[in-house]
Structure 1
Amino acid sequence: MITSYFVIGANHRTSSGALRDRLATEEVETPELLERLRGLGFDQALWLSTCDRVELHAAHSRPLEAALAAAGCMAERAGLEAADLSGQLFTLTGAAAVRHLFAVACSLDSQVVGEPHVLGQVKAAHRMASSAGLTGPELEAELQAAYATAKRVRSETPIAEGATSIVAAAVQVARDVHGDLKRVSALVLGTGDMGAMVLDGLREAGLERVTVAAPVDRRAEAAARRTGGHFVRWDDLEQALPTADIVVAAVGLGRYVLTGAMMDAAMRRRRRRPVFVVDTGVPADVEPGVADLREAFVYDLADLERVALAGRVGREAAARAAWAIVDEAVNAFARERAERAAVPAVAALRAHFEAERRRLLAENGTLDAGAATRLLINRLLHGPSEALRGMAADADGAGLAERAQAERLLVRLFRLDEDVPKGEDAGAAVNSREKRL
């Protein structure tokens, strides 16, 4: 049975941040979820959970049925009915699913194109699927091709430079506002990938004191453990704000999580000491009124890009070049899979021909070469000829269409059109040869 690729999930284009938070899993939760998928009949599946996306990438002999089962599992995970996810989940199959995985691995499907975190997240999800025994030849081939494509994109295009320059700009502005970063503290709102990148840059520049808060407390607690920082409940956010010299917002819920009123109250308690606010949320996390407050220096991704002098035209050109590499790789992957799939059939055909040759020689060892080859040809073509006659005898249109399709395939496989005199129909040539048998 043919195994096909598919992906089902919720990402920053199709769903709300609130739904992705409900679907998201931390590393310790993933093995149990993979076992649940195994119980649903999956034997090749990868669960990818990031801030931008929660997706199941799989290879299955019945992809559409499997996608429905996965949707039910996701609804159960979110504590919702399957109908509640309608319109927020996407499903892709075949080449479209492969292209999507390649794009994710190459960071072309991220909120900030070129950010490097997602490839590491794909590899971590791959390791967990492998540990759970949920990888197989089809999924392994797809993932290895995705990694090779990501390497090409990184080495042949400047796609990663934009994200890197944004982080460098954030560090530069933080130093301009506060000087030595070892003396300041940061509050990170949410667990978005771009926010994590900015935090990494600030840590490398000397920042030591970090507190994390997120709408889902368990995710904030896990992020705090990973970064070596502290955790604060989302409900206590307003109490944590006055101690933050740097605020990195990376929530993306589609509503403002840091309002002018909240920040004004925090600034009064800070006695108007300056605050550097980095809004990496897409959509924005920080209310525009925050920028009107004295001593509040608010920068979104576009502002940081301007600081880094990274032009949109250059970024879009790099993205186009990267997509061209992805499409080339997807086509090559599909071609290689088709060639591999054809090998068993060709081997079986060769074995069948060889068996007929041996049988003929054993039964008619005294024939000369001409007679023997004519007899062999007749034997080899007897079965196909009978099948074509049977299709022709089928009175309904389906039989005739099947015969026409078979004739076209024969012409292509054996290049019969090369043997047909100019002006003669290749299908007619198949018929004339069949009549001579």
Structure 2
Amino acid sequence: MSSASPRFVVVGANHRSASLGLRDQLFVDDSGVADFLVGLKARGLYEVLVLSTCDRVEVWAGHHDGDMATSLICEAYGARAGLSPAALAGQLYTHVGEAAVRHAFAVASAMDSLVIGEPHVAGQVKAAHRLARDAGTCGPELEAVLQAGFACAKRIRSETHIGEGPVSIAAAAVQLAGDLHGDLSHCSGLVLGAGDMGELVAESLMAAGLGRLSVTAPRASRAEALAHALNANVVAFENMREALAGADVVVASSGGRAVLVTSEVVTAALKKRRRKPIFLVDAGIPGDIEPAVNRIDGAFLYDLNDLEQVALEGRATREQAARSAWTILDDEVSLFLRGRAARVAVPAIVALRQRFEETREAVLAESHGDADAATRLLIHRLLHAPSETMKSVAAEGADWQHMEKTLRTLFRLD
């Protein structure tokens, strides 16, 4: 990408860079995306989208000045969270140019996720793309990166087995829930928190016929957004204990520092259920359910590691797939960047062809149909100005060697 062209920029916070508290402050639900994008546009970012999930909040933008775009995005984050730039420093990451493109491809391909290969991540990026288009902030630079990123994700899914393991984590949860309770259509479920992995497990349970589903989270807006996506009910977080007692399947996916479900809470729930068993999935990182719960009769607790043991034949297969996926991703990034760089030459090529065509028409008019005279005159006209320029450069002692090398490369004289 040349400096004259828009540069791709990503500024954000994810599960590795920032605390859950900050991510909650920066979180933008779907209903607020349009206003947030309009605010960024008012600051001077005309090509921009926001990707806001439990695990990450990122702004993707196309702008001619990477530093300026970064500053504008950080200002918007600060205004949203009510924090100073100093308070945000160290919890936000910034990628510009090639690094930003690689990051975007990695996100779209689910290579930058908590669990590598989860296919719903691409759906989240597509949803962010759709909201940006609706808000009128998806310009050509952003569109080009997105389409290339989606193509990269599709190639990785078709050429590697990267999606098989993580997808089967949710399938393993469904299978184990069915083994315990039988027909899931007679069961009720509860999702605690709004993490991406918990959402994936809940989606799989619903697809398998789970009868009823409720959602609760420490932050009400998160619970409402997830409940809307899953077509589920919302339960106030302060009523979590009562909801847990009525749930046959519990999926915890907050990933906060505090344990949401203790052994005391589960014991009380089982007592109310008259010892009817509960199947619990701890999809939080760090965990949301106290490990001691697994020692309680009637409570069947599985965390992500447990589900992986059920679902995967071995880590080696996924690691090999991940290595292959990264190789494909880097190939796609290089291909995209080469294509974008090549477009810089297009205006000059068009101008050169136009000049040649104008010269050809003039020579044909002057030669009166004499083909030999026309071709000789054409060669003379086309080479006159370049020849004079080359002589001048050589006579003035300028960088003739560089010009000669370029000339021989252009016309393949060697």
Structure 1 length as normaliser, TM-score? 0.84
Aligned residue for 2:385? 379
Q: Which residue of the other structure, out of 124, 142, 147, is the alignment partner of 2:145?
A: 142
Distance 2:384 2:93 in 1: 53
SS at match of 1:7: strand
Distance 1:382 1:361 in 2: 24
| RMSD (CA atoms) | 3.0
Do residues 330 (structure 1) and 330 (structure 2) align? no
Instruction: Report 1:151-300 matches (<5 A).
Output: 151-300=154-303
Provide Cα deviations, 1:215-258, integer angstroms capped at 9, x if missing partner: 21111022223322221222332333222221101111244222
Q: Which residue of the other structure, out of 387, 393, 405, is the alignment partner of 1:411?
A: 405
What's the CA shift for 1:298? 0.9
- Paired residue type of 1:4: R
Distance 1:148 1:206 in 2: 32
Provide Cα deviations, 1:49-96, integer angstroms capped at 9, x if missing partner: 112211111111112211111011012112222221111111111111
Distance 2:320 2:185 in 1: 38
Aligned residue for 2:111? 108
Structure 2 length as normaliser, TM-score? 0.88
Aligned residue for 1:130? 133
SS at match of 1:13: coil
Distance 1:181 1:42 in 2: 48
Q: Which runs of 5+ in 2 are unaligned?
A: none
Distance 2:335 2:191 in 1: 42
What's the CA shift for 1:194? 1.4
Number of residue pairs matched by the alignment: 408
Distance 1:77 1:147 in 2: 29
User: CA, structure 1 residues 314+376, in 2 after alignment: closer, same or farther (shift >3 Å)?
Assistant: closer
Instruction: Report 1:31-46 matches (<5 A).
Output: 31-46=34-49
Provide Cα deviations, 1:95-151, integer angstroms capped at 9, x if missing partner: 111111111111111111121211111111111111211122221111111111111
Single out whichever of 321-330 and 230-239 deviates more from structure 2.
230-239
What's the CA shift for 1:357? 8.2
Provide Cα deviations, 1:293-346, integer angstroms capped at 9, x if missing partner: 222211011111111243211111111111111111111111111122211122
Do residues 118 (structure 1) and 124 (structure 2) align? no
Single out whichever of 249-258 and 112-121 deviates more from structure 2.
249-258
Distance 1:356 1:388 in 2: 26
Provide Cα deviations, 1:384-437, integer angstroms capped at 9, x if missing partner: 665788895xxxxxxxxxx59xx54652453289768xxxxxxxxxxxxxxxxx
Q: Which residue of the other structure, out of 47, 50, 53, is the alignment partner of 2:53?
A: 50
Q: Which runs of 5+ in 1 are unaligned?
A: 393-402, 421-437
Distance 2:218 2:87 in 1: 20
- Paired residue type of 2:144: A
Aligned residue for 1:432? none
- Paired residue type of 1:338: A
User: CA, structure 1 residues 81+263, in 2 after alignment: closer, same or farther (shift >3 Å)?
Assistant: farther
Aligned residue for 1:25? 28
